[in-house]
Amino acid sequence: MSDSILTIPPSPTLSTHSVRFQTSTALRDNKPEQTSGLSSLGLLNPESASSHSHARRPSNATSMTEVDTDDGRSDAGHRHVNSAATSMTHVNATQSSKQTKSSEGESSDDSSKKDDKKDDKKKDKKKGAKSEDDGKTAHQLELEQDAAINPTPFAFKPYQLAHMLDPKNLDTLAGFGGAVGLLRGLGTNAERGLTTHQNEKVGAGEGASQRHDSESADNQYAEKEKVPEIMLTAPSGQTVTATPQDEDPLASKATIEDRKRVYGENVLPIRASKSLLQLMWMALKDKVLVLLCIAAVVSLALGLFQDFGTPRTNDEPPVDWVEGVAIMVAVSIVVVVGSVNDWQKERQFRVLNEKKEERGVKVIRDGLEKVVDIKEVVVGDIALLEPGEILPCDGVFLSGHNVKCDESGATGESDAIKKATFEEIVEMYRKAQEHGKDPSTLHCDCFMVSGSKVLEGVGKYVIVAVGTKSFNGRIMMALRGDTENTPLQLKLNALAELIAKIGSAAGLALFIALMIRFFVQLGTGEPPRTPNQKGIAFVNILIISVTLIVVAVPEGLPLAVTLALAFATKRMTQENLLVRVLGSCETMANASVICTDKTGTLTQNVMSVVAGSIGVNCKFVRHLHENAARSNADETEQSESTGQTVRKHVDDFSIDQAQLNDALSPAIRDLFNEAIAVNSTAFQDTNPETGEVVFVGSKTETALLQFASDLKWRDFKTTRDEATVIQMIPFSSERKAMGVVIKLPSGQYRFYAKGASEILSKRCDSRIVVRKGDGAAEGPVETVPIDDLARENISRTIIFYANQTLRTIALCYRDFPSWPPTDMDLNEEQEIAYEDLAQDMTLIAITGIEDPLRLGVTEAVGKCNRAGVTVKMCTGDNVLTARSIAAQCGIFSSGGIIMEGPVFRKLSNAERLEIVPRLQVLARSSPEDKKILVETLKSIGEIVGVTGDGTNDGPALKTANVGFSMGIAGTEVAKEASDIILMDDNFKSIVQAIMWGRCVNDAVRKFLQFQISTNVTAVVITFVSAVSSVEEESVLTAVQLLWINIIMDTFAALALATDPATESLLNRKPDRKTAPLFSVDMYKMILMQSIYQIIIILVFHFRGEHFLGLDDVENGHRILTTLVFNAFVFAQIFNSVNCRRLDNKLNIFEGIIKNRYFIAITLLEIAIQVVIVFVGGAAFQVTRIGGREWGISLALGFVSIPWGAIIRCMPNGPFYKLFDLLGLFGKPEVLPTASPDREGWGGALALVQDNLSTFSNIRGARLRSSSFVNRSRNARTNAGEHPVASIMTIAPTMVMAAAVAGSTYKTQAGSLSDPAHADPSKSSAALWEGKLQIHPETPKDDPFYRKFAGQRNMV
């Protein structure tokens, strides 16, 4: 007992919330008249429970722990319980007193102390004492949640069951009494399943209570205790008693609703998606919009005062209030467009998920197989296992045949995990320990993990955790989090603040200047004014100052961002990209590295037979005319006798795979087909999403079945059903082969084998003969012995295919006249050993299988490289396949490095920083390696996009700046953690995301370039003209400014934000995250366009009458103001065309035809301006003008375009110096060259901290809810806070701990911390001695080449 690895967990029904009836009168509230005992559950609620100390209820399946206290007395006497099958375990208090106390609560004697403690706790809380969650793990916090749950009528609490699988713990299950005790405690039956329709009454009947002992209770228990007990031995050597399979009368009669009440439903809480109003409120909190709202209120108040609080001339309409209303309209448009877009996107994502979630689960209920909706599955259901199924819930395996699960999607475990019953596993673990083996290397257990996939076999399991308590559900909940601001949002917020400050400063300066003049006028009495007029004059000064601030604020900016994103996300959805997080769209513009999976993203994830050799001479290739290099039939050598070049194997011939039937006789076709169909566990099924019939099973087997199906050979099912199977040998990674023995119609027996070609070909001594044009030949299959020439041909062919990274599979057979064969003995299972059968076989064929590249991937990788985005491949596959695919699609190029995950994760921080920029392929990588790679890339300033499809990719997807998940192959967890979903699982779509990201960023910048120049001009001319005017009148009236400021902004946002993404966007490198929002080109354009516009407006404003010879004072002044207004508007319209380019290239009309919005809006702006001039006289204070004035205003506006071309030709150097001097580019960011906190003990501590944070991300959703944890996490230590001495005081402790732990703690093989531990592809590491491979075209003077030189590191 003392050397036990693990101890049995505390009793499932013991808790501080157990109920004790203080007096016998309290039992009256137990409603004994009720026929259902469920009505008395109210007495057991946590509130009433918390006020009483602990006393146990009778329990039917209790694992009881007797604790030796420090004084040597046992506390068993306090807690004696009549129990049907109580197993007693003796635990030494010194080892586990803490665990026992925390989980079992105090005895009833301590109740008064407990109440006192509660009062003390309350006082402590008032004083601001530490949180209760201080220092507790996620598991402890979850078990505390358990304490508040009353599991009656069941024996187990929810998280006790959930923690049995996370991590997998066989001793916990043993503590429950094994699978038998588990079934009993959950009130279910392995054969009948749950009982849903009960004919008898529920409860104890009239006048009896279900809660307190009936008269016969003691007899009932006494009888039960006479039933012989089953003893189970846990892997640690503990013996526990399993309850016999007689059902718990209470638990078995519980309703489905009871199960949902105690254990929850199999649904994740729908993420409280925000309502439209909430989304609108969030949108309104934007800094720019807050600024606009303030401006609108002030403008509206002053406008109403001007219109209705002051006397007006007859021809002046009361329209000053319009500006305030118009700003409000602009804000409303932004809020509505943004929030509706978010709302639609959220709904779209939910519909996608719901479609994925809608499926039935086969369960046994009332002794019948039923298909129930996945959401209706409950704890205690007996669910059935079938190949291809994704497990909906956690459970414990009960029975079945050859069940294997792929848990890579859930835990990262790369090997298939065999499932066996609890009793079988205990026995296997015992044998393994006897032989000194690590039981975890058996890759065998009895736990069914939600999210994993059944590869083969059939069986059933009992469900123990559903919904948020299941493994999958808890990871899903942990990944839920709020999104951060994107780089663009942060820059725009800063810009909004800056503009508000500048605008306010300009407004204040104008107010001060006008007030000085106002005071001078008051002092001199010129012009003479009545007190009322003086008041109005002051208000006018205030109005013009506020107008200036309103003009400075770019109302169109949030609209431009919102429209650009809305437009881009809509178009991206059409291109198979579902954007979940809007900000990720902008972030992709700056993406500099993409870390992509191989399988399914770069490749099709459909294994296919692409080449092969039948017999020895018939070499077939799929699409031979395109892939002639895949056949070695025409290989030549130099003749030793004549010296001439001759064909090496004269009988070899090549043939297209589709024409194989012309070369193979009917007998060979039948033999080949039978070897494929009978020796296989794959089957056919209908894909629920596409509706097409597909093969389901291992990828190798489905490839071979598809190969036979494509050649129109006899249906595999008919062939399989007709065969009489005598013995089956399942595939195992040790022998790398599988086989089947069948009885032939002739009465003979035939053994078919299929497996690794390099192993099986050596076990063959003969081969079938295939000649060209034998398709119609009748007669039996001809075989000949394998001579040296044929042996050399076989081995050469296998190497030839292996060099193309094809997976080579050999198919062989052997005939026996009788069964069992006379010279062979049956083993204990009455079967012939595989080693005896797989001798002297006949080779049928060797097939080459691969997962082909997706169409367009090579071009997509080329485009990424052109765009300055580095593509890195992270795959769990072996290094040879990874290298081949990387080379095929252009990822592995000159100067690049290939490394394996196990080597990569052992690198020091300094080595990693050196290697990561050059790393192109990371083979055999675990999800943790991927996460380390992403973190390293981010630490050197890269913006990283990551693709992932498995549950285990969640952390890397969450860590990346932008996470891409797969819409088809992706798990729910991957989708939840991602920002963008690739609906077609294709790498090509990532290039589209980069293009659209850049398009969004460019749209915002184009708009800013236009908007800021308009605003600068408007502010300057308003300021200058107001100061120079005696009446404090601006060159542009408030309503004219409204048209320019609001309508033009909104229209420009629409026009410039809707430019479609083009391939030309990929012709430049990505911007850094810290790059300023404005480039030199943009600042230059804004400055020079503003200067031009200011000059023409002010010149015409002050000297226009002189230029144009306008004599009539009143009418002439009105014509001049109209001309100035017209010229200013057309200057903006033409400048908007000019702003379609951000660089120095001159073609501003590129792609204008594709943007119909731009053309339509520009024409609409011109039309409205013409209408304003002709009929808007009163409101806009304009008058009709003649042809000369129209010509002048159009010409002045049009000059913006040629002037823009001149500006683009100006050198950038002097402008950069000027703008840098003004501090417009901010401070340059210097990247750290070293990470001081990563050296020495600090590095060790930081590593531990990283590991813990990773673990908490995956496992710790509930831990995160703790306020204390959040506070302690957010606290950052300063470098100088702890002197070295204080750190070193813990050194002896750490050294001691390491020494002790070193001998006892072992990383579980294949566990989450090291998923690739038992990866069979490790053998590839033996192909070279070096740690990495450098591309052969790397220049010799490359520092990496010099550092890692040597043939062993070259490919």
Summarised one tens digit per residue, pLDDT across range 264-276 is: 999 887 766 778 8
> How far is residue 1319's CA from residue 531's CA, in Å, rounded to a whole number?
93
> How far is residue 445's CA from residue 423's CA, in Å, rounded to a whole number?
11
Half-sphere exposure of 1145 (CA within 13 A, CB side): 9
* 196 DSSP assignment: -
What is the chain's length?
Answer: 1355
Two tokens at 945?
A: 């996009």
pLDDT grade for 1349, boundaries at 50, 70 and 90: low
Instruction: Report the mean per-residue pLDDT for the chain.
Output: 75
* 469 DSSP assignment: G
pLDDT grade for 38, boundaries at 50, 70 and 90: very low
Res. 44: pLDDT tops 50: no
Per-residue burial over 684-707, b = 16 or more CB atoms within 10 Å of its CB, e = otherwise: eeeeeeeeeeebbbbbbbbbbbbb
CA distances to 706, 1120, 1141, 1193 from 1190, rounded to whole Å, are 75, 11, 28, 5
Two tokens at 136?
A: 């507790």
Q: Label residue 381 left, alpha or beta by phi (over 0 means left) and psi (-120 to 50 means alpha).
A: beta
> How far is residue 257's CA from residue 267's CA, in Å, rounded to a whole number?
14
pLDDT grade for 977, boundaries at 50, 70 and 90: confident
User: Which residues fall within 8 angstroms of residue 431, CB to CB, at 6 or more apart?
Assistant: none
pLDDT grade for 382, boundaries at 50, 70 and 90: very high
Summarised one tens digit per residue, pLDDT across range 1285-1307 is: 333 444 444 344 433 333 333 33
- Residues 1120-1128 have a mean pLDDT of 92
> How far is residue 599's CA from residue 46's CA, in Å, rounded to a whole number?
50
Res. 86: pLDDT tops 50: no
pLDDT grade for 315, boundaries at 50, 70 and 90: low
pLDDT of residue 1133: 93
Two tokens at 1235?
A: 């990470």
pTM confidence score: 0.63
- Residues 576-603 have a mean pLDDT of 85
Q: Which secondary-structure segment (H or E) carries 449?
A: none
pLDDT of residue 483: 57
pLDDT of residue 11: 36
More confident residue, 649 or 168: 168
Quote the crossing angle between the two packed helices 1113-1138 and 1048-1056, to the nearest 10°. Answer: 20
- Residues 717-728 have a mean pLDDT of 89
Two tokens at 1314?
A: 């090291």
> How far is residue 454's CA from residue 464's CA, in Å, rounded to a whole number?
18
Nearest to 950 by CA among 360, 412, 291, 336: 412
Two tokens at 88?
A: 């007693």
More confident residue, 622 or 76: 622
> How far is residue 571's CA from residue 232's CA, in Å, rounded to a whole number?
62
Bridge partners (DSSP) listed for residue 401 = 458
> How far is residue 1049's CA from residue 292's CA, in Å, rounded to a whole number?
13
Res. 1010: pLDDT tops 60: yes
pLDDT grade for 1239, boundaries at 50, 70 and 90: very low
Nearest to 608 by CA among 756, 803, 809, 800: 809
pLDDT grade for 1129, boundaries at 50, 70 and 90: very high
> How far is residue 729's CA from residue 731's CA, in Å, rounded to a whole number?
7
More confident residue, 809 or 20: 809
Residue 1176 DSSP SS3: coil
Report yes or no: 795 and 761 within 8 Å, Cβ to Cβ: yes
Handedness of CA 1172, 1178, 1182, 1185 (dihedral sign): positive
Summarised one tens digit per residue, pLDDT across range 322-364 is: 767 877 876 787 788 778 877 876 776 677 666 656 678 899 9
Q: Which long-range contacts (CB under 8 A, 24 or more apart) does 789-792 make?
A: 789/649, 790/616
Report yes or no: 289 and 295 within 8 Å, Cβ to Cβ: no
> How far is residue 328's CA from residue 331's CA, in Å, rounded to a whole number?
5
Res. 79: pLDDT tops 60: no
Summarised one tens digit per residue, pLDDT across range 878-919 is: 777 788 888 888 899 888 899 988 888 888 888 888 899 999
Amino acid, res. 1280: G
pLDDT of residue 35: 37
Question: SS3 letters for 86-123?
Answer: CEEEEECHHHHHHHHHHHHCCCHHHHHHHHHHHHHHHH
Report yes or no: 1061 and 998 within 8 Å, Cβ to Cβ: yes
| Positions marked catalytic | 597
% of the chain exceeding 90 in pLDDT: 22
State the burial class of residue 530 (Cβ atoms within 10 Å of its Cβ: 0-12, 13-18, 19+).
exposed
- Among 196-200, 425-429, 806-810, the least confident range: 196-200
Between vectors from CA 412 to CA 407 and to CA 413, what angle results, nearest 5°?
A: 60
% of the chain exceeding 70 in pLDDT: 72
